């Protein structure tokens, strides 16, 4: 190999922490060779080989560095040339094979290449990283002038709110809230309530039947089965209310839903009379609709009460003079009530000669409709969020 340039060792300068050769290391080894090694042929050959290796490594590394396009490329380049298993490391390891006298100078030359590669690589990597960052930033750009998205805030369903209100009102009157199963047996939904097997309420047209070969199961058609469960479970005095869902096989329209909510009330004790029933319902109406409210009882029939009534409250919107909400009758129908039938008391194990009781049941959706002048029952189970916006008074 022809060495064109020869430079003495002294022509190296220290810049910062890095050694930077002013001449190609190839030239340096030539000088080394001439000055110190004389005719030691083998070592010269070895050094020649190393010099060549260093130069070609530099050439390869630098030209590949120029073509790097991405951060990934730069990582790969660094691994290939400067990494622990990279070519630079391999070259440095190779120095161990040199004769001891040659190692320091050769080592310096190799280290100097390493420094050179590191110094040249650093700005390239920074440039590529910066480019990638800028690209990501512009891709993820947020338009800060867009209006924010309002978070949805939960709100209680107006039926739930009404239940809470009723639980509080009846709680002050001494009633405890209890809850019962929505899937009931025929025994509790009908039999114990003095509704015999041939009663039309058991007809499939009213009752949603759960298919079970062993037991008569229904979706409860009212909350009244809990009268029987409560009386069966405990000795009088009993004062309970039962809010919950009820189901009927019905065509839907503005005032009929197959799923709705009721609240049942039951008081059993010695000397309970119709007057107690009236007092309790009147107080409920006043608490819900204002102190001026009056209630009306009219005869009605339910198999599990005797006497039975339907009760209404005078319309709070028009004060009983007649308006659209009360359909110009002055009264709003609320539900059924009456004195617990002796057959029911007997069926659940209480002596009707000792105990008397009253029971009532009313539709909760109806109460909400009256309170807010809603004219379509179907909105309550429609899961339309506008219902909450309107009736739960939540700003969203």
In the complex, the residues that contact ligand PHE under the rule CB under 6 A are 222, 224, 302, 305, 335-338, 359-361
For tokens 């009219």, name the residue. 298
- 105 versus 192: smaller Cβ distance to ligand PHE: 192
- 24 versus 361: smaller Cβ distance to ligand PHE: 361
Q: Catalytic residue among 114, 202, 222, 229, which?
A: 222
In the complex, least distance from residue 246 CB atom to ligand PHE, rounded to whole angstroms? 7
In the complex, least distance from residue 391 CB atom to ligand PHE, rounded to whole angstroms? 24
Active site residue 359: yes
- 91 versus 195: smaller Cβ distance to ligand PHE: 195
Three-state secondary structure along the chain? CCCCCCCCCCCEEEECCEEEECCCHHHHHHHHHHHHHCCCHHHHHHHHHHHHHHHHHHHHHHHHHHCCCCHHHHHHHHHHHCCCCCHHHHHHHHHHHCCHHHHHHHHHHHHHHHHHHHHHHHHHHHHHHHHHHHHHHHHCCCCCCCCCCCCCCCCCCHHHHHHHHHHHHHHHCCCEECCCCCEEEHHHHCHHHCCCCCCHHHCCCCCCEECCCCCCEEECCCCCHHHHHHHHHCCCCEEEEEEEEEECCCCCECCECCEEEEEEEEEEECCCCHHHHHHHHHHHHHHHHCCCCCEEEEEECCCCEEEEEEEEEECCCCCCCCCCCCCCCCEEEEEEEEEECHHHHHHCCCCCCCCEEEEEEEEHHHHHHHHHCCCCHHHHHCCCHHHHHHHCCCCC
In the complex, least distance from residue 363 CB atom to ligand PHE, rounded to whole angstroms? 8
- 118 versus 300: smaller Cβ distance to ligand PHE: 300
In the complex, least distance from residue 374 CB atom to ligand PHE, rounded to whole angstroms? 20
Active site residue 262: yes
In the complex, least distance from residue 291 CB atom to ligand PHE, rounded to whole angstroms? 26
Active site residue 248: yes
Q: Catalytic residue among 110, 159, 305, 337, which?
A: 305
Decide if 324 contacts 360 (C-beta within 8 A): no
Active site residue 305: yes
Instruction: Note the residue count of the chain.
Output: 396
In the complex, least distance from residue 325 CB atom to ligand PHE, rounded to whole angstroms? 22
Q: Catalytic residue among 230, 268, 359, 381, which?
A: 359
Which pair of tokens denotes residue 238?
């009993």
- 44 versus 207: smaller Cβ distance to ligand PHE: 207
- 54 versus 266: smaller Cβ distance to ligand PHE: 266
Q: Catalytic residue among 262, 316, 340, 350, which?
A: 262
User: Looking at the annotation, which residues are catalytic?
Assistant: 205, 222, 248, 262, 305, 359
């Amino acid at each position: 190999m022809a060495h064109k340039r020869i430079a003495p060792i002294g022509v190296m300068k220290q810049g910062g922490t890095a050694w930077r050769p002013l001449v190609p290391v190839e030239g340096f080894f030539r000088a080394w060779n001439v000055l110190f090694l004389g005719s030691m042929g083998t070592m010269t050959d070895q050094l020649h080989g190393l010099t060549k290796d260093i130069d070609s490594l530099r050439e390869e590394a630098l030209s590949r560095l120029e073509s790097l396009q991405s951060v990934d490329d730069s990582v790969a380049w660094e691994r290939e040339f400067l990494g622990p298993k990279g070519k630079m490391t391999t070259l440095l390891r190779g120095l161990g094979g040199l004769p001891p006298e040659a190692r320091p100078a050769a080592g310096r030359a190799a280290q100097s290449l390493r420094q050179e590669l590191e110094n040249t690589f650093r700005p390239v990597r920074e440039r590529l990283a910066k480019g990638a960052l800028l690209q990501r930033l512009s891709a993820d750009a947020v338009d800060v002038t867009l209006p924010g998205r309002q978070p949805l805030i939960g709100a209680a369903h107006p039926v739930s709110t009404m239940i809470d209100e009723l639980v509080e009102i009846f709680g002050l009157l001494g009633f405890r809230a209890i809850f019962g199963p929505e899937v009931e047996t025929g025994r509790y939904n009908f039999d114990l309530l003095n509704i015999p097997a041939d009663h039309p309420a058991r007809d499939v047209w009213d009752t949603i039947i759960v298919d079970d070969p062993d037991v008569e199961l229904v979706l409860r058609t009212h909350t009244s089965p809990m009268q029987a469960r409560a009386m069966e479970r405990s000795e009088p005095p009993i004062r309970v209310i039962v809010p919950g869902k009820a189901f009927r096989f019905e065509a839907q329209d503005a005032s009929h839903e197959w799923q709705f909510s009721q609240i049942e009330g039951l008081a059993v004790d010695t000397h309970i009379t119709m007057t107690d029933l009236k007092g309790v319902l009147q107080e409920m109406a006043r608490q819900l609709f204002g102190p001026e409210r009056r209630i009306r009882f009219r005869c009605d029939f339910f198999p599990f009460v005797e006497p039975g009534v339907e009760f209404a409250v005078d319309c709070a919107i028009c004060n009983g003079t007649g308006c659209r909400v009360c359909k110009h009758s002055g009264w709003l129908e609320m539900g059924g009530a009456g004195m617990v039938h002796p057959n029911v008391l007997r069926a659940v194990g209480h002596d009707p000669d000792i105990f008397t009781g009253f029971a009532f049941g009313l539709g909760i959706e109806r109460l909400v409709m009256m309170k807010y002048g809603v004219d379509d029952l179907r909105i309550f189970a429609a899961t339309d969020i506008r219902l909450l916006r309107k009736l739960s008074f939540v700003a969203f």
